[in-house]
Structure 1
Amino acid sequence: MMDKAILTCALTGVLTNPRQHPVPVTPAQMAAEARDAFNAGASIMHVHLRRQEEGMGHLPSWDPEVAELVVDAIRAACPGVIINLTTGVVGQDIAGPLACIRRVKPEIAACNAGSLNYLKIKDDGQWAWPPMVFDNPVAKVQQFLDVMQECQVHPEFECFDVGIVRSVGMYLKAGMLKAELGRAEYNLVMGVASGMPCDADLLALIPRWMAADSVWQSTLIGRAEIWPVHQKTAELGGMLRSGLEDTFYLPNGDKAKGNGELIAALAECARRAGRVVASPAEARVLLGLRASAAASPG
């Protein structure tokens, strides 16, 4: 089965302004973009939620009602699709993400596996935003994992640096991931300015620090530099993710009109590496997801 490549589409992201970029906001827009990505080969939709009020679509939402509307619309548009729900939030108040998990019961949810100084510097030496900490201490990770266990949701461990990859091994050793939630899954996030760079040579080294029998994918943030690393991911046996959350640019440098074009380009990476794009059913087997989840109501 490892010759199968799971494709994930990150549909919209956190703060991108829909007045400037073609990111979906409403349930109907999310469903239409998901359908295009699904038809291009994506088995999994990574879902962020946006405020639905007029003029507020650039801001995130943790309203369970919004979560239900968006997820139900995606499931209706893409029969059999796997939902991967975001959970990333700064601070100790995680009630919103937990309420959304409990409401929509996604098959997968992101589990940010460690803290990061989230920084970006401009050419003139000024901070792009005030320096901040994306805080994910072990106690917070455990809170998320406890609710994922309660709802039988598979965690995808988001790793922004190599130390976080190694921390996941400690979580497994400590028994924080229960076997019924599937195989350990790492998501290597590359391209955040203060995290791991988007670098094919670095990517090739990291799997040695992952748990045995785990699954991994790369999330690559940037422009032209991401596509050779996507290709390297495919060649190394990793799973592939792209979408308007991660990039606006196709391999030829053109700006993508939507998520479907980005997923079609990922599928080509898989095929060039001699791999077949996994169906949703095959993705469930590879990740060890619960068999009944495909029919889970919103």
Structure 2
Amino acid sequence: MFTVWIKACLNGGRPSPAPVTPGELATAAREAAEAGAVAVHVHPRDAGGRESLRAEDVGAAVTAIREACPGLPVGVSTGIWMTDGDALERARLIAGWRVLPDFASVNVREAGFADLVRRLHGAGVGVEAGVWAPDEVDALDGLPLLRILVEIIDTPRSEAVAAADAILRRLGDAAPPAHDKGDDGGTGTVPVLLHGEEDACWPLLEHAGALGLATRVGLEDTLVLPDGSPAGGNAELVRAGCAMWTAARRKRANTDG
């Protein structure tokens, strides 16, 4: 029996039908966990529905999910677009967090990446480094990371696997050592999570299964199921993701064995 490590990305920058308020996020997180998710990633919102890094907004979202799902790891985005590209303002807001998430994602290509990784790690927040291209891998060297996100963005379905493999090959040549506890398969290197958005979502989730890598799925990444029909919500996407990952893993094992 294969066990999939799958994270539910509940909303991203999407408006409805994705959950927005703390209460909606809490409900979606509980449903996703029941469907098989082992962690959740969210983009907290302010009262006007805008993505936010403000302490009160992050705290409200994280607290609501923890109350609904005790023990479920909760992660948040630190996307620099939330501060209109201002790295100093982003750092200032994050320094003011009173309720800390279990982990946070930081994109390598954004200004202030390394400093923010160290700041979050020092505060006890695990860091997922978002890598979008092979040439970003070198920036990971020496940083305390919980997980590396291989993220294929704005890429057609036909090119998604090749784009992911290019990053994975580069990581294979220069995989940083693990600093935090994580499911690294005993390799001593930082564990990798592979995912794609929109058209690349399902091909890469299947590829992650074939490779035995962690993955994620949710309304941030796609609004449709593998057959192209509209998804009923995050839980339905997680169930489909678990089934696809497991089938791909079993197929690869049978082929290799």
Q: 1:289 is matched with which residue?
A: none
Please give the alpha-carbon distance, in whole angstroms, between the structure 2 residues aligned to 1:159 and 1:202: 11
**Deviation of 1:23 (Å):** 1.0
**Deviation of 1:206 (Å):** 2.8
Q: 2:31 is matched with which residue?
A: 36
The answer to whether the 8 A contact 1:191-1:198 is kept is no
* Structure 2 residue 150 is matched with structure 1 residue 202: no
* Structure 2 residue 9 is matched with structure 1 residue 10: yes
Q: 2:126 is matched with which residue?
A: 154
One-letter amino acid of the counterpart of residue 219, structure 1:
H
* Structure 2 residue 55 is matched with structure 1 residue 64: yes
**Deviation of 1:226 (Å):** 2.8
Deviations 1:202-225 (A, max 9, x none): 3234323220622111231113x5
* Structure 2 residue 36 is matched with structure 1 residue 75: no
Alignment of 1:1-298 (within 5 A): 4-14=3-13, 16-18=14-16, 22-52=17-47, 56-57=48-49, 59-89=50-80, 90-92=85-87, 93-95=89-91, 97-99=93-95, 102-114=97-109, 136-137=110-111, 140-168=112-140, 171-172=141-142, 176-177=143-144, 182=146, 185-192=147-154, 199-210=160-171, 211=175, 213-223=189-199, 225-274=200-249
The answer to whether the 8 A contact 1:188-1:219 is kept is yes
RMSD: 2.3
Q: Report the TM-score, using the length of structure 1 for normalisation.
A: 0.70
Partner SS state of residue 198, structure 2: coil
**Deviation of 1:28 (Å):** 0.9
User: What 5-or-longer segments of structure 1 have no aligned partner?
Assistant: 115-135, 276-298
**Deviation of 1:191 (Å):** 2.7
**Deviation of 1:103 (Å):** 1.9
CA gap 1:256/1:99 in 2 versus in 1, 3 angstroms: farther
The answer to whether the 8 A contact 1:159-1:186 is kept is yes
One-letter amino acid of the counterpart of residue 147, structure 1:
R
Please give the alpha-carbon distance, in whole angstroms, between the structure 2 residues aligned to 1:34 and 1:40: 10
Q: Report the TM-score, using the length of structure 2 for normalisation.
A: 0.81
The answer to whether the 8 A contact 1:113-1:141 is kept is yes
Larger relative contact order (CA 8 Å, sep ≥ 6): 1
Deviations 1:106-136 (A, max 9, x none): 221112112xxxxxxxxxxxxxxxxxxxxx2
User: What 5-or-longer segments of structure 2 have no aligned partner?
Assistant: 177-188, 251-257
Q: 1:278 is matched with which residue?
A: none
Partner SS state of residue 199, structure 1: helix
Please give the alpha-carbon distance, in whole angstroms, between the structure 2 residues aligned to 1:233 and 1:88: 24
One-letter amino acid of the counterpart of residue 106, structure 1:
P
**Deviation of 1:197 (Å):** 8.1
Q: 2:181 is matched with which residue?
A: none
CA gap 1:197/1:76 in 2 versus in 1, 3 angstroms: farther
Please give the alpha-carbon distance, in whole angstroms, between the structure 1 residues aligned to 2:170 and 2:9: 25
The answer to whether the 8 A contact 2:133-2:167 is kept is no
One-letter amino acid of the counterpart of residue 109, structure 1:
A
The answer to whether the 8 A contact 1:165-1:186 is kept is no
Please give the alpha-carbon distance, in whole angstroms, between the structure 2 residues aligned to 1:23 and 1:81: 20
**Deviation of 1:17 (Å):** 2.8
**Deviation of 1:8 (Å):** 0.7
> Number of paired residues?
229
CA gap 1:31/1:235 in 2 versus in 1, 3 angstroms: same
